[in-house]
Structure 1
Amino acid sequence: MSNLPQPHCLAPAFGGGAAPPPLSSAAGGGQPVRDRKIASAEQLVLDLCEPDLRENALGELSKKREIFQDLAPLLWNAYGTIAALLQEIVSIYPFLSPPTLSPGASNRVCNALALLQCVASHPDTRILFLNAHIPLYLYPFLNTTSKTKPFEYLRLTSLGVIGALVKVDDTEVISFLLQTEIIPLCLRTMEMGSELSKTVATFIVQKILLDDVGLRYICATAERFYAVGQVLGSMVTSLAEQPSTRLLKHIIRCYLRLSEHPRACGSLNNCLPNMLKDGSFNNYIDDPTTRHWLQQLLHNVGGVNRVANLPGGLDHIIGS
C-alpha cells in the first residue's frame, strides 16, 4: 500500500494546507453547465470519505462517471478516496465463503469497482493503480464459484477492472498479471461464469496471449498450455449448444495466437476441437475478421511441421 497516492486535499477540512483551486475555476464563465458538473463530481468524491454519504456518492459517481472528465485523477489524488473504495471491497470478504452476499451489498461494492475501473483505464493513473497492487484486492471475488446474481455481478465487474488494464497494450501490465496468477482465475470464470463473464475473461486471456511475454509464459510448460487448451476446448463444445458469436471470436483468436508458437502449434494439430475444423460454426461466423482468423488458424495447424511434435514439445500431455 506504500504506492497509494499521497494526500492531495480537495478542501481545507481534509488537512495538509490550503486546498488547490476548484477545477471549475479554470473553465471560464462561458461553461456554467460544465462548471456545475465538475463541482458536483468534486463534492461526490469528498462524500466518499463520509460513511453516511458514501453509498449515495458511490451510486451517483458510478452512474455519471462517463460525463465527469478526469474523474480518475480526481479519485486518485483526493485524500482518503482510494482507501475508502478499498474499505468497501474488503468489507464483504466475510460474505464470500460461505456465499451469503446480499444483492444490495453486491451492488454497492460493484459501484466501488466501477470507480476503480475508471482509475484503471485512465492513462494518468493506470500504472499508479498497478504499482499499488490494487488488482489483488479483486482476486478473492474472481475465486468465487456461486452462480447467484450477486456473485455473478461481482465477478463481472471485477473482470471489467482487469479488462480495462489489458485493453491498452502494455507489457508491464501483462507481467504484473502473470506474476499474480491471474490466468487460473480467468480460467475458472471461463468454465463456470455467465456468457458475458466468460467473454470478458476470455478477452483478458486473449490480450495476455497477444503479448509476447504472455505467450511465452503460457507455452513455457505443458501444464500451463494444457490448462488453457482444456478450458478453450470445453468452451467450444458448450458453444454447440448455446452459440455466442462474440465469445467464439475471442476463443478463435486465442487459438490463433497459440498456433503462432511452434511447440504449441504442434500440439494443436492433435488437440484442436474438431468442431472448429468441420464447419460446425460456419453459420454463426458472419464477421469477416473472425472468419479470417479461423482460416489462418486451420492453415497454421494443418501445415505444421511434425518436427514440432518431437519429445520436449507439448503433445505428450495433451494426447492425440
Structure 2
Amino acid sequence: MANLPQSLSINAPFAAAGSSAQNAAAASQANKDHKMASVEHLILQLSNPDLRENALLELSKKRELFQDLAVAPLLWNSFGTIAALLQCVASHPDTKMLFLNAHIPLYLYPFLNTTSKSRPFEYLRLTSLGVIGALVKQVDDTEVISFLLSTEIIPLCLRTMEMGSELSKTVATFIVQKILSDDVGLDYICTAAERFFAVGRVLANMVASLAEQPSSRLLKHIICCYLRLSDNPRACAALRNCLPDMLRDATFSSCLREDPTTRRLLQQLLHNVEVNRMPPL
C-alpha cells in the first residue's frame, strides 16, 4: 500500500476532501462573523441622529444579506433602538401625520395604562412617553394635540405623573405642558371642571412629593403647567384657592436659588393668581 502512487492512495482523496470542507466551513463562518459585525455597527449608529439616516439606508440595502443573522432580535434587544426609530418618525414633519393617521401611538397606550412599577414596565412606559413627547415637541401643532386629546392621552399622562419614576413623571408632565401650550389643549382642560381639578390634584400631589424629594427639572415643568392654566380666566380664579402653599412659601428656595428661569416663572404665576410673592432667598 505504501508503494502506490499518491493518486491511488485510499487516504489522499479523503484527506483532501476533509481539508477542503474545513476550509469552506471556516470561510463561511468568517464571512458570517464579518456580516454580523457590520450589522452590529450599523445598529449602534441608529442611536446617533447624525448617522441614523445612512445606517437605515445601509440596513435596507443589505436586508437580503442579513436574513440569516436574526437582525430583528438584534434591533429589538439593542438599547434604545426601537425608541429612537419611533421618535425619529414621530418627530419628523414629513412623517408625523402619517404616523398619527396610522394610529401607531395607540399601540403604545397600554404601556402607559399599566400600574406596575417593575423595571421592565418602567422602561416600556418611558419609551412610550418618549415617542409621545417627540410628537408634541414642536410648537403650534394643533393637529397633533387634537389627535392626542381625542385618544384620551391626558388620563394616561396623569397616571404616570402619579406613580411613575422621576424620569417618567418628568416626561409625562412635559407632554401635559405642551398640550396646555396649545389653545385647543388649554380649552380642553379648562372647559370641564372635572378635567381641570383632575390635573390640578395630580400637580398638587407632585408638588407635595417634591418637597420630600426635590427635582428642579420636574418642578419647572409643574410650574409651567400651572402658569399656562393661569392664562385661562376661570382656571386662574380657581388657582387662587387651590394653588399649593408650598409654591407660595420658601419650600423650594434651595432649588430655585440655582434656577433663576424657574424662579421667574413661579413669580409670574404668583402674580397671575394674585397671591403674595415669595420671600427673598
Alignment of 1:158-197 (within 5 A): 158-169=128-139, 170-197=141-168
What letter corresponds to residue 175 of structure 1 in structure 2? S
What letter corresponds to residue 266 of structure 2 in structure 1? L
Distance 1:177 1:46, change over 3 A: farther
Alignment of 1:224-263 (within 5 A): 224-263=195-234
What letter corresponds to residue 96 of structure 2 in structure 1? R
Distance 1:35 1:260 in 2: 41
* 1:220 aligns to 2:177 (yes or no): no
Which string of whole-angstrom CA distances, capped at 9 and with x for unpartnered residues, describes residues 48-88 of structure 1? 9889431113456x66xxxxxxxxxxxxxxxxxxxxxxxxx
What letter corresponds to residue 234 of structure 1 in structure 2? N
Which string of whole-angstrom CA distances, capped at 9 and with x for unpartnered residues, describes residues 168-194 of structure 1? 120000000000000000000000000
Distance 2:97 2:162 in 1: 30
Distance 1:141 1:49, change over 3 A: farther
Q: RMSD over aligned Cα, in angstroms? A: 2.6
Contact 1:160–1:200 (CA<8 Å) still a contact in 2?
A: yes
Count of aligned positions: 224
The aligned residue for residue 133 of structure 1 is 103
What letter corresponds to residue 296 of structure 1 in structure 2? Q
* 1:154 aligns to 2:124 (yes or no): yes
5+ residue gaps, structure 1, are 1-32, 64-110, 304-320
Specify which of 86, 93, 98 is matched with residue 123 of structure 1.
Answer: 93
Q: TM-score, normalised by structure 2?
A: 0.74
* 1:301 aligns to 2:266 (yes or no): no
* 1:55 aligns to 2:73 (yes or no): yes
Distance 1:46 1:146, change over 3 A: farther
* Cα drift, residue 275 of structure 1: 0.3
Specify which of 244, 248, 251 is matched with residue 273 of structure 1.
Answer: 244
Which string of whole-angstrom CA distances, capped at 9 and with x for unpartnered residues, describes residues 9-61 of structure 1? xxxxxxxxxxxxxxxxxxxxxxxx9998465332576789889431113456x
Distance 2:85 2:65 in 1: 14
Identity %: 70
From the CA coordinates, give the structure whose radius of gyration is larger: 2
Distance 1:221 1:36 in 2: 48
Specify which of 265, 284, 297 is matched with residue 255 of structure 2.
Answer: 284
Name the structure where helix makes up a greater proportion of residues.
2
Contact 1:48–1:54 (CA<8 Å) still a contact in 2?
A: no
* 1:42 aligns to 2:12 (yes or no): no
SS in 2 for 1:57: helix
Contact 1:187–1:231 (CA<8 Å) still a contact in 2?
A: yes
Q: TM-score, normalised by structure 1?
A: 0.65
Distance 1:46 1:144 in 2: 38
The aligned residue for residue 94 of structure 1 is none
Contact 1:44–1:57 (CA<8 Å) still a contact in 2?
A: no
Contact 1:47–1:54 (CA<8 Å) still a contact in 2?
A: no
Distance 1:224 1:35 in 2: 41
SS in 2 for 1:240: helix
What letter corresponds to residue 297 of structure 1 in structure 2? L
Distance 1:116 1:256 in 2: 31
Distance 2:228 2:134 in 1: 21
The aligned residue for residue 311 of structure 1 is none
* Cα drift, residue 287 of structure 1: 1.9
What letter corresponds to residue 271 of structure 2 in structure 1? H
What letter corresponds to residue 229 of structure 1 in structure 2? G
Contact 2:75–2:82 (CA<8 Å) still a contact in 1?
A: no
5+ residue gaps, structure 2, are 1-50, 276-281
